[in-house]
């Protein structure tokens, strides 16, 4: 199996083995539900993890999120709660950013993350069908506002979107961005055949949905955080003119998977409006994922756990989570807890 195809499996295993200690923080207790929502187009249900405020004390961690104690299935606490939806990277799953979700819950948010159908650690059969990602994210928003167990507690006017890597691309498109894959992707891969996106698509034609795309935009999204977005070069100023929401954009300065200047930097340069641009010195691409514990690092010596020497991933996440939570709290007009 090639290193490229190993990445989804490594992602699942690394996150399951994450063992950094979660710092006690003030704020509500953390409830958790794992549910599915119907997908009206595909028929196959979409897997969703939901973290939310509760008055019930946590009983312990659950599978895949060993460093985060939760109260499974506990009653929701609060009214008019803000919502953040999350989109993972290529080959990931809904739990890839559970520490960030926990930081948001402690600020009073409901957080819902989906496992993208056809682009996850179990199945990458539709990893190139990028139009499906924002559409699935919009399905998730609809479910959370209209049919989820806590839908009556959520404020539909306060919805944010967070995404990493392919998820970072997803939230940019869902918030109004119009990428041009057909005109930019072939030339990009002629110049950079060893880049991750080009290796992922090597030997495969772009799907019809990329050649004549219909992008799903969801006006319910009022603020966006995009970390190390994939396919940044597919956006130009015209393609980003309708992305008018407040945006926090993150770049790993030493991104070995999506290297400069074609990804986060390309989005930064193309954005026609002021935005909050954060460059993380010394960070690699996968440093935006939950830090790996010692056991996972020994078992998985690949790129998912391999921060650069001297880079403190856990310390970075403490600051990253704080900054993301502050951004959404401020931009969505959420009262501080």
Looking at residue 9, its pLDDT comes to 44
Looking at residue 295, its pLDDT comes to 63
Looking at residue 10, its pLDDT comes to 40
Looking at residue 63, its pLDDT comes to 81
Quote the CA–CA distance of 150 and 129 in Å, as a whole number.
Answer: 31
Instruction: Look up residue 308 and give its two tokens.
Output: 């650069």
* CA distances (Å), origin 197, targets 66, 170, 173, 193, 282: 31, 15, 17, 9, 22
Looking at residue 1, its pLDDT comes to 29
The answer to whether the beta carbons of residues 48 and 76 sit under 8 Å apart is: no
Quote the CA–CA distance of 167 and 188 in Å, as a whole number.
Answer: 20
In CATH, what class is 3-331? alpha beta
* CA distances (Å), origin 69, targets 44, 98, 270: 30, 11, 41
Could you list the mean pLDDT of each consecutive 10-residue stretch along the chain, which spans 337 residues?
A: 40 45 65 96 92 97 87 97 98 95 98 97 93 97 98 98 98 97 93 94 82 91 98 97 98 97 98 97 96 68 83 96 98 85
The answer to whether the beta carbons of residues 82 and 111 sit under 8 Å apart is: no
Q: Helices marked H in 78-218 — which ranges?
A: 98-105, 132-146, 166-174, 181-191, 196-201, 208-211
Looking at residue 207, its pLDDT comes to 84
Q: How many Å from the N-terminal Cα to the C-terminal Cα in the chain? A: 48
Question: What pairs with residue 81 in β-bridges?
Answer: 154
């Amino acid at each position: 199996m090639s290193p490229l195809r190993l990445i989804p499996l490594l992602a699942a295993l690394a996150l399951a083995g994450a063992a950094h200690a979660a710092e006690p923080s003030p704020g509500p207790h953390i409830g958790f539900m794992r549910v599915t929502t119907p997908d009206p187009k595909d028929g196959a249900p979409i897997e969703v993890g939901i973290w939310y405020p509760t008055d019930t004390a946590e009983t312990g961690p659950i599978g895949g999120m060993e460093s985060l104690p939760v109260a499974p299935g506990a009653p929701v606490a609060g009214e008019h709660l803000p919502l953040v939806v999350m989109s993972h990277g290529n080959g990931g799953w809904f739990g890839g950013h559970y520490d960030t979700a926990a930081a948001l819950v402690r600020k009073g948010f409901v957080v819902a993350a989906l496992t993208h159908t056809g682009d996850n650690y179990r199945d990458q059969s539709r990893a190139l069908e990028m139009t499906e990602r924002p559409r699935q994210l919009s399905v998730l928003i609809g479910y959370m506002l209209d049919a989820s167990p806590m839908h009556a507690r959520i404020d539909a006017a306060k919805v944010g979107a967070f995404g990493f890597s392919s998820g970072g691309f997803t939230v940019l498109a869902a918030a109004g961005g119009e990428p041009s894959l057909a005109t930019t992707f072939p030339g990009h891969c002629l110049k950079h055949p060893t880049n991750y996106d080009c290796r992922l698509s090597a030997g495969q034609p772009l799907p019809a949905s990329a050649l004549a795309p219909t992008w799903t935009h969801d006006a319910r999204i009022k603020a966006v955080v995009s970390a190390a977005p994939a396919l940044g070069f597919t956006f130009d100023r015209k393609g980003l003119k309708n992305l008018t929401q407040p945006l926090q954009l993150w770049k790993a300065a030493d991104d070995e998977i999506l290297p400069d200047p074609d990804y986060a930097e390309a989005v930064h340069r193309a954005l026609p409006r002021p935005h909050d641009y954060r460059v993380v010195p010394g960070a690699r691409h996968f440093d935006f994922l939950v830090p790996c514990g010692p056991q996972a690092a020994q078992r998985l010596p690949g790129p998912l756990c391999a921060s650069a020497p001297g880079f403190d991933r856990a310390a970075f996440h403490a600051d990253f989570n704080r900054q993301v939570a502050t951004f959404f709290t401020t931009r969505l007009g959420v009262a501080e807890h």
